[in-house]
């Protein structure tokens, strides 16, 4: 009898434990399901499709977890929720619960007012910054808009730049050739006093730029002063191409030298370079100087296209080294150039500028004149986060045609020339000893 009671007691205890475990498991699953439901409610703006449910979710909030999951890898037990983004599976792991828990704990319980967009921006920025790579970064929608406007080379505006003079007046600094401002008659050094009838004499050039950029008006009326005479100029806002290639010619030793300055490698720079180079060649140049001083880079595809115009078929432009090995990018142009080429560089020549400089130096056999370049030997890729913001992350190393990695050392010039101090006091072509050295080299 004692034994039977004992067995019965053990069975009851085991039954009780199983019931308790079942209850805890149900509670845990309920908690997880609530979390999934909460995410599904929150993520409503972008086309990310959950396989289990035909619901739509925003990428902005989910990116907090998905970016972090890239750092943890895919070795964990995935049991949270599976989402498809552009045909790719994105998993949420139990290991990432604390990120969602923290976010919703703050959003649901914080006693004060919260800006959820700012909270998410800060979270993403923190995760991206923790990678420890200077070039891996996060940009909010405003910063992204400015970045894309710069690298795309086009924007909605009137086709001019403005600045401040010594008298704190807003002046026209540059008028883009054949742009709307140029066609309307705006001139460099015009003083802007009013914009659409509003007095701007106590405002700044940035105020003018912001107004024009964000204006809903199709036409912008500027009141300007020119030679002490007031004029009104109406300019139509339209899509404007930003010039990034500038040309001229020099003559020395009975030879004609073409000169092309590249300010940035935007998406339209290669076309501008091609047009300007064709004009120079029609003018029968004997040699070419390319100036990338203070050019911080731009699109890899753009510098590839430009180098391809100069190098001969089969010449190596650069090499890319990644997880799958090293691949060479070779020129495909059957009609490469055969005249002397020099490229001007300084410490602010970076990225795409360094790719072009090393290609001219090592594959073309040209001159690199100036000082060592910046030393950026990596390639970045961008990802749009759906609301105008983006992340930029390093994906590869690039190597010179000879296989050199110039990261943090830069491209070494064939002819090292520091800019004369006199140039800073009087910035003229005659005082630009780097330019003058390049002209001497290509005309000797």
C-alpha span between 66 and 58 (Å, rounded): 12
CA–CA distance from 104 to each of 28, 36, 61, 90 (Å)? 17, 12, 11, 20
> Confidence class of residue 59 from pLDDT cuts 50, 70 and 90?
very low
* Bridge partners, residue 234, by sequence: 221
Whether the CB-CB separation of 84 and 118 falls below 8 Å is answered with no
C-alpha span between 138 and 386 (Å, rounded): 13
Is residue 42 pLDDT above 80, yes or no?
no
Interacting residues of 404 by C-beta distance below 8 A, sequence separation 6+: 358
Q: What pLDDT is recorded for position 323?
A: 84
Q: What pLDDT is recorded for position 30?
A: 56
Is residue 61 pLDDT above 50, yes or no?
no
Q: What pLDDT is recorded for position 24?
A: 55
pLDDT in tens, 407-427: 999 999 999 999 999 999 999
Q: What pLDDT is recorded for position 45?
A: 32
140 versus 297: which is more confidently predicted? 297
- pTM confidence score: 0.74
C-alpha span between 162 and 188 (Å, rounded): 9
C-alpha span between 341 and 368 (Å, rounded): 9
Is residue 177 pLDDT above 80, yes or no?
yes
pLDDT in tens, 264-278: 999 999 999 999 999
What is the arithmetic mean of pLDDT over 140-147? 81
> Confidence class of residue 69 from pLDDT cuts 50, 70 and 90?
very low
What is the arithmetic mean of pLDDT over 174-180? 92
Is residue 82 pLDDT above 50, yes or no?
no
Average pLDDT, the chain: 83
What is the arithmetic mean of pLDDT over 60-66? 46
C-alpha span between 355 and 379 (Å, rounded): 11
> Confidence class of residue 95 from pLDDT cuts 50, 70 and 90?
low
> Confidence class of residue 78 from pLDDT cuts 50, 70 and 90?
very low
Domain architecture of the chain: domains with CATH = 30-130 (no CATH), 154-241 (2.30.42.10), 245-443 (3.90.226.10)
With a pLDDT cut of 90, the percent of the chain lying above it is 60
370 token code pair:
């100036």
Is residue 18 pLDDT above 80, yes or no?
no
CB atoms within 10 A of CB 440: 14
What is the arithmetic mean of pLDDT over 157-166? 94
Catalytic residues: 351, 376, 380
What is the arithmetic mean of pLDDT over 390-409? 95
Is residue 116 pLDDT above 90, yes or no?
no
Q: What pLDDT is recorded for position 283?
A: 97
Is residue 64 pLDDT above 80, yes or no?
no
Most confident of 7-21, 114-128, 142-156, 430-444: 430-444
> Confidence class of residue 23 from pLDDT cuts 50, 70 and 90?
low
Is residue 1 pLDDT above 50, yes or no?
no
What is the arithmetic mean of pLDDT over 188-199? 96
* Bridge partners, residue 156, by sequence: 239
């Amino acid at each position: 009898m004692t034994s039977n009671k004992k067995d019965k007691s053990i069975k009851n205890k085991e039954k009780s434990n199983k019931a308790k475990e079942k209850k805890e498991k149900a509670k845990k699953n309920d908690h997880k399901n609530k979390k999934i439901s909460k995410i599904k409610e929150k993520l409503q703006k972008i086309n990310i499709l959950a396989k289990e449910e035909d619901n739509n979710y925003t990428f902005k909030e989910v990116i907090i977890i998905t970016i972090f999951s890239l750092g943890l890898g895919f070795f964990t037990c995935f049991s949270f929720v599976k989402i498809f983004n552009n045909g790719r599976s994105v998993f949420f792991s139990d290991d990432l619960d604390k990120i969602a828990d923290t976010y919703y704990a703050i959003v649901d319980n914080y006693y004060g007012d919260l800006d959820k967009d700012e909270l998410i921006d800060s979270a993403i920025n923190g995760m991206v910054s923790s990678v420890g790579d200077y070039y891996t970064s996060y940009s909010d929608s405003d910063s992204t808009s400015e970045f894309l406007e710069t690298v795309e080379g086009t924007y909605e505006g009137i086709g001019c730049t403005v600045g401040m003079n010594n008298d704190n007046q807003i002046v026209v600094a540059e008028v883009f050739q054949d742009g709307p401002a140029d066609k309307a008659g705006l001139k460099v050094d015009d003083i802007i006093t009013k914009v659409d009838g509003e007095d701007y004499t106590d405002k700044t050039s940035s105020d003018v730029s912001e107004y024009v950029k964000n204006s809903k008006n199709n036409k912008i009326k500027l009141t300007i002063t020119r030679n002490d005479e007031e004029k009104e100029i109406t300019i139509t806002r339209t899509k404007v191409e930003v010039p990034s290639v500038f040309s001229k010619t020099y003559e020395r030793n009975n030879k004609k030298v073409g000169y092309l300055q590249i300010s940035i490698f935007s998406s339209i720079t290669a076309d501008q370079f091609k047009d300007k180079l064709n004009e120079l060649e029609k003018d029968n140049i004997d040699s070419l100087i390319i100036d990338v001083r203070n050019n911080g880079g731009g699109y890899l595809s753009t510098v590839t296209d430009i180098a391809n115009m100069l190098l001969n078929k089969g010449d190596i432009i650069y090499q890319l080294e990644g997880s799958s090995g090293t691949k060479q990018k070779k020129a495909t142009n059957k009609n490469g150039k055969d005249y002397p080429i020099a490229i001007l560089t300084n410490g602010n020549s970076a990225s795409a500028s360094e790719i072009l400089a090393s290609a001219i130096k090592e594959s073309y056999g040209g001159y690199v004149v100036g000082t060592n370049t910046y030393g950026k030997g990596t390639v970045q890729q961008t990802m749009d986060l759906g609301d105008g913001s983006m992340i930029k992350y390093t994906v590869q190393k690039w190597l010179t045609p000879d296989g050199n990695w110039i990261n943090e050392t830069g491209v070494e010039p064939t002819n090292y020339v520091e800019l004369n101090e006199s140039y800073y006091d009087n910035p003229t072509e005659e005082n630009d000893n780097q330019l003058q050295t390049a002209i001497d080299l290509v005309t000797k």
